[in-house]
């Protein structure tokens, strides 16, 4: 009896087998939304979204409010967690006769850490209709001309900065602002770096005022706005007739900075003539193309054996490059065909990238010495005009020592070699009694 009791106690204390069934690798699914999407004359105080499983109280980007977008809104919506559901409420309640959209952004996960990957949007109205005005487009970081995923978009009417229609860009930088009644709106895009839904001084943004009647396409180009204007902060002489100079912030694309606005003087105040001023990126692209053309031209006229060998190597490399590019194109085509359902092309910007780096091509070489560059009336991308100057020095090139002045590398810190010792010369000895 005692043995049976001990055996039973030991069996209870031993760890049990892990629960069976497959590992959960599926993100939570929305099974019900209250009020229903498309509902009119809604009287509810909030929106409840129910899932097929218990969800995490934290999203991939922080708390749940980071993956919930209620539009229009008078501030960040309140989100309450109820295990397998969330309730979303505006701070001051729903307005009468207003259409709302609720978007659940990617990043909401379950207890196994499986996040949602697609956005879901639901629409309802506290009035008897849902307006059809919509603005679509893409947001770009203008300093890199790349699409800005996760950017915050808002639309405001007049001077009301509290009540706003809100959206966020997807991973490709695209956005949609729906449910806009006909009228004039100021639409702003903001790269919300710290995700606090507020514009900070050094964050990139852009805004445009437009009239909305039905559907409108609008791309926005975000950059840091300021009121100081751009000033010259650096100058670098790459070769004797090329001067690179930069500003502390990008310049506007229009008006184009011209050679008439740039002045270069020596220490004695004499002027160095400037032929042309160009954006550094455009200059470098042209220089690469010209260098490639010059190389091909030099190879084509060189009839020596070395030139023929170099041309043969160049032709072989070109053939190999063509074959590689064809094979890469085939691989990309196969991959695109296989992933058609998941591959989304990125939006294409219609503006050039803003830049703070420029190149001045000179009519005469820069000799070693001190120079001053002055730029007049440079227009920053914030449309602020400013003149500035910078002093720089071109150093003398290092002088090469002659072979007579440069000791051999292997004799450093070594004792001088001893002079070779000549063997003694033998002196002939005469015999004492020479033969007759």
Only one residue has tokens 């030139």, namely 307
Alpha helices (runs of H) in 136-279, residue ranges in sequence order: none
* Run of H or E including 300: helix 280-301
pLDDT at 281 (0 to 100) = 86
SS3 for 386? Answer: strand
pLDDT at 208 (0 to 100) = 96
- Report CA 109 to chain centroid distance, whole Å: 27
* Residue 107, Ramachandran bin (φ over 0: left; ψ between -120 and 50: alpha; else beta): left
**Within-domain flag for 184:** yes
pLDDT at 1 (0 to 100) = 43
Report how many domains make up the chain: 3
pLDDT at 240 (0 to 100) = 86
For residues 261 and 361, membership in a common domain is answered with: yes
- CATH number of 194's domain: 2.60.40.180
353-362 pLDDT, tens digit per residue, is 999 999 999 9
SS3 for 194? Answer: coil
**Within-domain flag for 329:** no
Q: Is residue 143 within 8 Å of 354, Cβ to Cβ?
A: yes
Q: Is residue 384 within 8 Å of 226, Cβ to Cβ?
A: yes
**Within-domain flag for 413:** no
**Within-domain flag for 262:** yes
For residues 276 and 374, membership in a common domain is answered with: yes
For residues 248 and 205, membership in a common domain is answered with: no
d(C-alpha 81, C-alpha 58), whole Å: 10
Q: What residues contact 19, with CB distance under 8 A and at least 6 apart? A: none
Backbone torsions φ then ψ of 376, nearest 5 degrees? -105, 135
pLDDT at 410 (0 to 100) = 53
For residues 40 and 58, membership in a common domain is answered with: yes
* Residue 83, Ramachandran bin (φ over 0: left; ψ between -120 and 50: alpha; else beta): left
* Helix, strand, coil % over all residues of the chain, rounded to 5: 20, 35, 45
- The burial class, CB within 10 Å (0-12 / 13-18 / 19+), for 158 is exposed
pLDDT at 15 (0 to 100) = 43
Q: What pTM was estimated for this model as a whole?
A: 0.71
For residues 104 and 214, membership in a common domain is answered with: no
The closest of 358, 390, 394, 387 to 373, measured between CA atoms, is 390
10-49 pLDDT, tens digit per residue, is 444 444 444 556 788 899 999 999 999 999 999 999 999 9
For residues 232 and 361, membership in a common domain is answered with: yes
For residues 171 and 244, membership in a common domain is answered with: no
Domain boundary among 115, 130, 145: 130
Mean pLDDT by 10 residues, the chain (436 residues): 42 46 86 96 96 90 85 90 95 94 92 91 96 96 94 91 91 94 96 83 94 95 95 91 95 95 96 94 78 58 63 53 56 57 78 94 93 97 96 82 57 50 49 47
- CATH number of 289's domain: 2.60.40.1220
pLDDT at 435 (0 to 100) = 47
Q: Is residue 121 within 8 Å of 102, Cβ to Cβ?
A: yes
For residues 274 and 365, membership in a common domain is answered with: yes
d(C-alpha 389, C-alpha 108), whole Å: 52
Q: What residues contact 35, with CB distance under 8 A and at least 6 apart? A: 42, 44, 47, 124
**Within-domain flag for 71:** yes
pLDDT at 63 (0 to 100) = 83
* Run of H or E including 232: strand 232-239
Backbone torsions φ then ψ of 225, nearest 5 degrees? -90, 145
Domain boundary among 189, 224, 259: 224
For residues 68 and 47, membership in a common domain is answered with: yes
Whole-Å CA distances, 272 to 165, 378, 393: 55, 20, 14
Domain encompassing residue 248: 226-304+352-396
pLDDT at 429 (0 to 100) = 46
For residues 176 and 297, membership in a common domain is answered with: no
For residues 34 and 152, membership in a common domain is answered with: no
């Amino acid at each position: 009896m005692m043995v049976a009791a001990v055996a039973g106690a030991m069996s209870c204390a031993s760890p049990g087998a892990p629960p069976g069934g497959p590992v959960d690798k599926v993100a939570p699914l929305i099974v019900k939304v209250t009020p229903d999407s498309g509902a009119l004359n809604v009287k509810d105080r909030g929106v409840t979204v129910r899932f097929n499983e218990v969800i995490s109280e934290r999203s991939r980007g922080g708390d749940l409010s980071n993956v919930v977008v209620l539009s229009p809104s008078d501030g960040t919506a309140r989100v309450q967690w109820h295990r397998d559901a969330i309730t979303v409420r505006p701070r001051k309640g729903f307005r009468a006769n207003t259409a709302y959209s609720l978007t659940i952004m990617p990043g909401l996960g379950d207890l196994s850490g499986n996040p949602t990957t697609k956005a879901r949007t639901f629409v309802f109205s506290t009035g008897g209709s849902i307006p059809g005005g919509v603005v679509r487009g893409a947001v770009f970081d203008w300093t890199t001309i790349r699409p800005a995923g996760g950017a915050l978009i808002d639309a405001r009417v007049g001077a009301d900065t509290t009540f706003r229609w809100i959206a966020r860009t997807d991973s490709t930088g695209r956005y949609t602002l729906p449910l806009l009644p006909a009228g004039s709106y100021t639409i702003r895009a903001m790269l919300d770096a710290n995700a606090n839904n507020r514009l900070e001084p050094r964050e990139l943004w852009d805004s445009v005022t437009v009239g909305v009647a039905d559907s409108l396409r609008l791309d926005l180009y975000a950059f840091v706005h300021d009121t100081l204007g751009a000033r010259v902060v650096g100058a670098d002489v790459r070769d004797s007739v090329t001067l690179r100079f930069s500003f502390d912030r990008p310049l506007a694309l229009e008006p184009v900075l011209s050679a008439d606005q740039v002045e270069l003087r020596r220490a004695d105040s004499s002027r160095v003539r400037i032929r042309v001023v160009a954006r550094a990126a455009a200059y470098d692209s042209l220089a690469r193309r010209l260098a490639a053309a010059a190389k091909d031209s030099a190879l084509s006229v060189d009839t020596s054996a070395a030139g023929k060998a170099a041309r043969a190597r160049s032709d072989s490399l070109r053939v190999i490059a063509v074959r590689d590019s064809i094979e890469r194109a085939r691989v990309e085509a196969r991959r695109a065909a296989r992933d058609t359902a998941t591959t989304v092309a990125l939006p294409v910007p219609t503006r050039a990238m803003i830049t703070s780096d420029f190149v001045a091509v000179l009519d005469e070489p820069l000799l070693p010495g001190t120079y001053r560059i002055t730029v007049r009336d440079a227009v920053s991308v914030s449309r602020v005009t400013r003149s500035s100057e910078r002093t720089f020095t071109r150093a003398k090139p290092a002088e090469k020592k002659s072979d007579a002045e440069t000791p051999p590398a292997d004799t450093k810190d070594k004792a001088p070699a001893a002079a070779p010792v000549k063997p003694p010369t033998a002196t002939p000895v005469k015999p004492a009694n020479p033969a007759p």
